[in-house]
Amino acid sequence: MKHIIEARNLSFSYTEDSSKILDSINLKIEKGSITAFMGLSGCGKSTLAFCFCGIIPKGLSGTMEGSVFIEENDIRELSLPSLSQKIAMVFQDVDNQLFLPTVEAEIAFALENLCFSYDEIESIVERILDTFKIRHLRYKNPSRLSGGEKHLVAIASVLSLDPQIIILDEVLSELDGENRKLIIDTVKALQELEKTIIIIDHNIENLMIADTIFFMKEGKIEERIEVDEHELLQHKLCSFFL
């Protein structure tokens, strides 16, 4: 299977005097896969996600060494509008990501910023509402939705630009069982649409839908494990957290 993201000798530190939060990362992520990154807090998971989607180096300052490629394009050479149509990220604190008065407005926001025509916006909004089965939420205020519905709307809104890659940064960690199932079912449906999903988490139960799990520790990739390798996965989990 062809890879869609590649990191080559990727390192990053937030200041010149601080230690590296990422240290010589080399990896490839296959197109159409669900790939997970797990590790203890501070291991570099979210920073790695910021590098994938271009927040680093285009938004956050620091020292970045090495490169990240999306479809063989160095992210340094891609504009933010171009990146936003290739990769999108949904954050754990979704209330900071949803700020408009209706679900419809959230879905249309990125399209309006990129000057899509009214007819294009209307068509895409209709398609997204149907794809995510959230037409009944169209005129609802996102702040009044359940946790699962909020994350569903956040995913729907970033999908308006039809990116091939979606990063979910600990979006399952504070959801109850029903809302967690809602998001997991959505992730599986996105994979069926040939989207590439990256999940950042520290809870193994939230990662079992992945095809591959990367274990991170102190800014490094400790190991890459296929989820169907159950015996190896369980052994690694025991040694990793003890």
**How high is the mean pLDDT in each 10-residue block of the chain (242 residues)?**
90 87 95 91 90 90 93 91 89 86 95 92 94 92 90 90 92 78 87 93 80 91 78 60 52
Structure tokens at 7: 């990191």
Structure tokens at 135: 């037409």
On the CB side of 77, CA atoms within 13 Å amount to: 8
Domains of the chain (ranges; CATH) run 3-241 (3.40.50.300)
Given this model, what pLDDT does residue 48 score? Answer: 95
Given this model, what pLDDT does residue 238 score? Answer: 58
Given this model, what pLDDT does residue 111 score? Answer: 92
Bridge pairing between strands 22-30 and 34-38: unpaired
Given this model, what pLDDT does residue 151 score? Answer: 87
On the CB side of 65, CA atoms within 13 Å amount to: 12
Cβ–Cβ < 8 Å for 198, 191: no
Given this model, what pLDDT does residue 197 score? Answer: 95
β-bridge mates for residue 36, sequence order:
199, 213
Distance CA 53, CA 80 (A): 9
Given this model, what pLDDT does residue 13 score? Answer: 93
In this prediction the pTM is 0.88
Buried b (16+ CB within 10 A) or exposed e, 84-107: bbbbbbbbbebeebbeeeebbbbb
- Of 155, 195, 160, nearest to 171 by C-alpha is 155
Given this model, what pLDDT does residue 1 score? Answer: 58
What does DSSP assign to residue 140? S
Given this model, what pLDDT does residue 11 score? Answer: 95
Given this model, what pLDDT does residue 22 score? Answer: 95
Beta-carbon contacts of 110 under 8 Å, excluding residues fewer than 6 positions away, are: 84, 157, 158, 160, 161
